[in-house]
A and B are shown apart, each in its own frame.
Chain A
């Protein structure tokens, strides 16, 4: 059985406390982001059966939440970079480790303790946020007027959902890793966070270009392909924007395997969006790699 030393426990609790205090404004934004996204997930999964919406009301309500969540998909990567930067740049950190070492703490204990502290705190943030999301859903469902009429703006393009999901996933993974990995690999982490941000930004740009060129996609299309999906997720016949990220991912895999037959709209979205994303991401990444500095971020460890 792994013994957790006293030093690890203290380092975990104290460091968690310091991180929490130091970044409380940014963490607050994370909490709000998780709340909105959590609310969206919860609504999609559970809310419809327990509340008898009409189709229009239901779509409007879900679209509202989806757009709120989308804002955070696009905005939060910026904060992810700031948080990562903040956590990695602990200018007086070495002095602290030296002091703790002088009092008998092993450096590995301190680092493992911090890791545990950060993970514990991250878990707390995620847990609290989803709990808050649940509250938002309950309150909204109770307060929602019956005669709600909003224009349906959500697009039925699975690949866009997939791109958003991918970008958001990369971003959240980066944010999570940023919280637990120390400065040795910070340049990679910050690069990834920026890449995720660029990916999401590019999705937005490509959407605008697509809409200005071709107009909106029909929203009531159904998925009529994919034996693979049929066997895996029983997706055939469902409205595309009812699909979960996993369904969307499986659809994408099916498409890439060549077993799908899509309309030209879908093909454009599938190929144009990732191509533009990749191009922009590559250019920005190359520029960052050459310049080594962006937004005053440190890309290398300062010399000891």
Chain B
């Protein structure tokens, strides 16, 4: 039996090893292993499982633009609920920058087609309200003009949210996610239900944010094939029947290559 060097206890060695593991995990924007998570819905006072997501392994490096692709009933929505801390894993570990997801995290921004804002308030009022909720006094408000400029919707600042077109609303939802200046940006089906021209506008704005120079990791979920959107991805992962594949680097981002990657990944599930 080998002897410990003087002054170093077993507990300290274990702690050092755990410390280095945690440091490694923190290197990843998303780190998940052996995760099983269930989404529930309440109906007449009873909880019912509506979806289950399982992840064997998912590692997303910082700075990645990961496209996570899945059908409408594939479990994509549940995956996003898991990512935002809306549901917790029943098994395994799911970490964002080494920390469990939680609602209201300041380093994570979420823009989802499911989101909505106060229709009677203007864009600026809505964003100011959200800024006031999640950030220090005045911080969110000060960021609004810059964010609106980046998204090219500065002229909508005083327009009531309910009077906006669907694509303009999606842009405002992107804006609210940027308020926190997140290091991880989750974008869930942001072009769902939009027509072609509207999609082009929203994807163009998303592209502008990505190319804005800030060091943000993107997780962009989509249930639809859109060449412009797919061209933004550096990595891709799939969700099918609740199972999430590990992310795969896209070497060539041409539409046909991406499509081939999707087909290959689907056949491996």
Contact = CB atoms under 8 A, between A and B. Distances in A.
B193 interface: no
Given A22-B120, A304-B42, A98 B115 contact: yes
A298 to B, nearest CB: 15
Interface string B126-140: 000110111000000
B255 interface: no
Contacts, number: 66
A252 B103 CA distance: 57
B129 A10 contact: yes
Contacts of A93: 116
B267 to A, nearest CB: 34
Nearest to B133: A103
A227 interface: no
Given A22-B120, A104-B104, A304-B43, A99 B132 contact: no
A101 interface: yes
Contact of B103 (A22, A95, A104): A104
A6 B140 CA distance: 15
Contacts of B84: 102
Contact of A99 (B41, B43, B116): B116
A10 B132 contact: yes
Interface string B63-103: 00000000000000000000010100000000000000001
A291 interface: no
A96 interface: yes
A7 B134 CA distance: 9
Contacts of B43: 303-304
What's the interface size class on A, roughly?
20 to 34
A102 B110 contact: yes
A99 B120 contact: no
A132 B107 CA distance: 51
B104 A6 contact: no
A95 B115 contact: yes
A124 B112 CA distance: 36
A100 B121 CA distance: 14
B103 A102 contact: yes
Contact of B120 (A10, A18, A303): A18
A45 B115 CA distance: 52
Given A6-B133, A7-B133, A104-B134, A95 B104 contact: no
B157 interface: no
B212 to A, nearest CB: 21
Contacts of B104: 101-105
B189 interface: no
A103 B134 contact: yes
Contact of B114 (A22, A98, A103, A105): A98
Contacts of B250: none
Interface of A: 6-7, 10, 14, 17-18, 21-22, 92-96, 98-105, 303-304
Interface of B: 41-43, 84, 86, 103-104, 110, 112, 114-121, 129-130, 132-134, 173, 176, 179-180
